[in-house]
Structure 1
Amino acid sequence: MAELIELTDRGLYCEAGDFFIDAWKPVHRTFVTHGHGDHAHTGMQEYWCARESEPILNWRLGDQKIHTMPYGETRQFGDVTVSLHPAGHILGSAQVRVEHQGEVWVFTGDFKRDPDPTCAPFEVVTCDVFICEATFAFPVYAWPDTRDEIARVLQWREQCEAQGKAAILYAYGLGKSQRILAELDGLLDLPVLLHGAMAKGVEIYRQAGISLTPTELVLDLPVETDFSGRLILAPPSAQDSAWTRRFRHFEQALASGWMQLRGNRRRRNLQRGFVISDHADWRSLVNTIRESGAKRVLATHGNTDALIPFLERDLGLQAERLRTVYGDEEELVDAGDAGASA
């Protein structure tokens, strides 16, 4: 008997509804869970996404045929009922719920459970089969309160100011950077300075009505500007680039779940690391699987070697790895940065 959702060389495919989910090669119809480059690809004939994701896909993919759905609304594709539900990952991120002949599958895409002022909170969707990410599926990953990490960012900026240095904080250009700007709203006396690659994403979030701290583009400031004590937000691809030379004296930090491990900070030649992630940590992932009520779990990219034995041994679930091409965007070259003005 065929699976309701199967892995193909083009992406996850639902034959009964004749659609793909987060297809990575050109297909006739695909649902897109969110706008990050490892899930949203060009070349599809028809895109479906959550309504809030449309401006992001227009930006990242260009002129495409995009259909939108409000969260929770159902649509029929053949004998299959599809609905989208908040994933809590970034603005417009969605889980895809697929129901056919009484059987329910849910594909989470990337997701998180922590509070985020820039997107709808994750919604638990009960199902029979749960397809989930496993980016940080290892017990060592346990996120601190984001407000505490933002307080550490502010303290670091003050220390840099006392030393006559700029504070360059690297964060992924879509989702992470806007979340940081939202958390900083009302906490700074001066605008955050942005790398040019950040401008469009910040504009889209502002147009969506999300309150962000004031920002300015670095390029809009005179060359002789004193950057001491200024907090500067830039994509990871800018680290140690020629762009950083204009700041003369500076420290570099990264906001990422990978900063949970100090060795990652040392290997990346960073002075600071802040544990701010847009993915679920170990506890959130396990709790979400429990709450879904699923008896079968298919785990995509990440630490599946730790997760699958745990689910089988400790939770008594049927679990296996689904070898998609999705990766963690923090480890990828941000396609949105390519060719962007510094």
Structure 2
Amino acid sequence: MPLISFTDKGLYCEQGNFYIDPWQPVDKAVITHAHSDHARGGSRAYLCHRDSLPLLKLRLGPYNYQLVEWNEKVILNEVIVSLHPAGHIIGSSQVRVEYKGEVWVVSGDYKTEADGLSGIFEAIPCNTFITESTFGLPIYNWKPQQAIYHDIQNWVRSNELANKTSVLIGYSLGKAQRLLKAVEEVPGNIYVHGAIWNVHETLLQAGFKLPAVQRITPDTPKEAFKGSVVIAPPSAEGSLWMRRFASYSVGICSGWMQVRGNQRRRNADAGFALSDHADWNGLLQAVKATGAEKVYITHGFQSVFSRYLNEIGIDASEVKTEYGTEDEETQSAN
């Protein structure tokens, strides 16, 4: 019997009687991070990293949460479970599962470059590694974060000189916090969409240090946006909500912007390949560093990545799951 099986409810450890990031309600859920494709409501009990708690409460509401620190061991029916940094977003963790000397690791979503917010990815030796491959194509090769930050800062400065509002599009949880760090070095006000404001306030109350922002409301005067930075989620892109900024430029911040055609298709003025996922080299480095004899690939470019791993002598298989869409919450745009 495999230590973790792939079921219609999610990744299941029968020996420990728990699920990892289940997509249906279960008795015991171990959660890698607070994005909506990995954390869903309705389960009786949740195990998560301490930093994920405020985000899970914001998105799921009050539940029975058991909190752990990274590397802290928990025994579930003789199965040893521990969480380890994934570097994806604040609180994101990999799940290490050990039973009778056999070790499996579920990566969740991860990136291997430290971003200064999300913890530093830790490669965990294991027998079997279950990994994502969101950007599992050789074309996806990220520039260093600081270089991308400089590109964003220079773009904002050029818009300021033209008396334009710089509108940066990025997910409210994960990407938005990194964008705040990118633009805090550029003088001027930072305004945020309501969805980003909610996450921002939650993190501030939890003790995280983030740059000061102002929430956009119907009462915010239009002239206040000129030369300023606005950070908004993808749901705002191309919406009526954007009209209040008058003369503005849109910069989309996503790993998909590595392909120039995507910027044109989304009618953006600029594209910045800033991703919260590992690129091709990061994925390969992570897989090799685990020393795993078997690798399962849950979402992304599964066929390409698994084929390449098999070609270089690593036994890899594709697994169909419901992971992969970091859905934005449909909150008020005010």
TM tier relative to shorter chain: over 0.9
Structure 2 partner of 1:273:
271
Distance in structure 2 (CA, Å) of the matches to 1:160 and 1:191 = 14
How far 1:116 sits from its partner (Å)? 1.1
Instruction: State the TM-score, normalized to the length of structure 2.
Output: 0.97
Query: Are residue 244 (structure 1) and residue 230 (structure 2) matched?
Result: no
Is the aligned partner of 1:327 residue 2:319?
Answer: no
Counterpart position of 2:332: 340
Amino acid at match of 2:178: R
Which residue matches 2:188?
A: 190
SS at match of 1:172: coil
Secondary structure of residue in 2 paired with 1:148:
helix
Distance 2:282 2:145 in 1: 15
- Residue 257 of structure 1 corresponds to 255
* 5-14 or 144-153, which deviates more: 144-153
Shift in Å, 1:157: 1.4
Superposition pairs of residues 61-140 of structure 1, within 5 angstroms: 61-140=60-139
**SS of residue in 2 equivalent to 1:225:** helix
| Separation in structure 1 between the aligned mates of residue 224 and residue 72 of structure 2, nearest angstrom | 51
In structure 1, distance between residues paired with 2:87 and 2:222: 41
- 1:280-328 deviation line (CA, Å, top 9, x unaligned): 00001101111101010000110111111111111x1110011111014
Q: Give the conservation status (yes or no) of the 8 Å contact 1:117–1:182.
A: no
**Contact 1:89–1:112 (8 Å) recurs in 2:** yes
Contact 2:5 2:13 in 1 (8 A): yes
Aligned to 1:155: 154
Of residues 169-178 and 219-228 in structure 1, the stretch that sits farther from structure 2 once superposed is: 219-228
Q: Which residue is 2:37 aligned to?
A: 38
Match of 1:291 in 2: 289
Task: Tell me which moved more, 127-136 or 301-310.
Answer: 301-310
Q: Which residue number in structure 2 is paired with residue 225 of structure 1? A: 223
Residue 43 of structure 1, CA deviation: 0.7
1:11 corresponds to 2:3:
no
Tell me if structure 1 keeps the 8 A contact 2:134–2:300. yes
* In 1: Cα distance, 2:254 partner to 2:41 partner: 27
The letter for the 1-side match of 2:315 is Q
Deviation of 1:160 (Å): 1.5
User: Tell me, what secondary structure is at the counterpart of 2:56?
Assistant: helix
Is the 2:165–2:226 Cα contact (8 Å) retained in structure 1?
yes
Identity %: 40
Gapped runs of 5+ residues in structure 2?
none
Alignment correspondent of 2:58: 59
Q: Following the alignment from structure 1 to structure 2, what is the Cα–Cα distance between the partners of residues 118 and 180?
A: 11
Cα distance in 2 for partners of 1:3, 1:62 equals 33
SS at match of 2:44: coil
Contact 1:251 1:271 in 2 (8 A): yes
Write out per-residue CA displacement over residues 215-234 of structure 1, whole angstroms, 9 at most, x where no aligned residue. Answer: 11122764342422211100
- Give aligned pairs, total: 334
1:129 partner amino acid: T
Q: Please report how far the alpha carbon of residue 163 of structure 1 lies from its aligned counterpart in structure 2 after TM superposition.
A: 2.3
In structure 2, what residue type is equivalent to 1:278? D
The secondary structure found in structure 2 opposite 1:237 is helix
Aligned with 2:217: secondary structure?
A: helix
User: By how many angstroms is 1:213 displaced?
Assistant: 2.2
Q: Could you list the structure 1 runs, at least 4 aligned residues long, displaced by more than 6 angstroms after superposition.
A: none
Aligned mates of 1:88, 1:226 — CA distance in 2:
35
| 1:312 matched residue in structure 2 | 310
Choose the corresponding residue for 1:234, options 232, 235, 238: 232
Letter of the 1:290 partner, please give it: K
Deviations 1:86-115 (A, max 9, x none): 110111101000001110000010000112
Provide the rounded CA distance (Å) in 2 between the counterparts of 1:243 and 1:29.
40
RMSD (Å), alpha carbons:
1.3
CA distance in structure 1 between the partners assigned to 2:205 and 2:118 by the alignment? 13
Shift of 1:200: 1.6
Deviation of 1:341 (Å): 4.1
In structure 1, what residue type is equivalent to 2:31? V
Separation in 2, partners of 1:228, 1:208: 32
Q: Distance in 1 between matches of 2:296 and 2:220?
A: 53
Shift of 1:85: 0.5
Unpaired segments ≥5 residues, structure 1: none
TM-score when scaled to structure 1?
0.95
Which amino acid is 1:230 matched to? S
Structure 1 residue matching 2:157: 3-state secondary structure: helix
Deviation at 1:339, TM superposition (A): 2.7
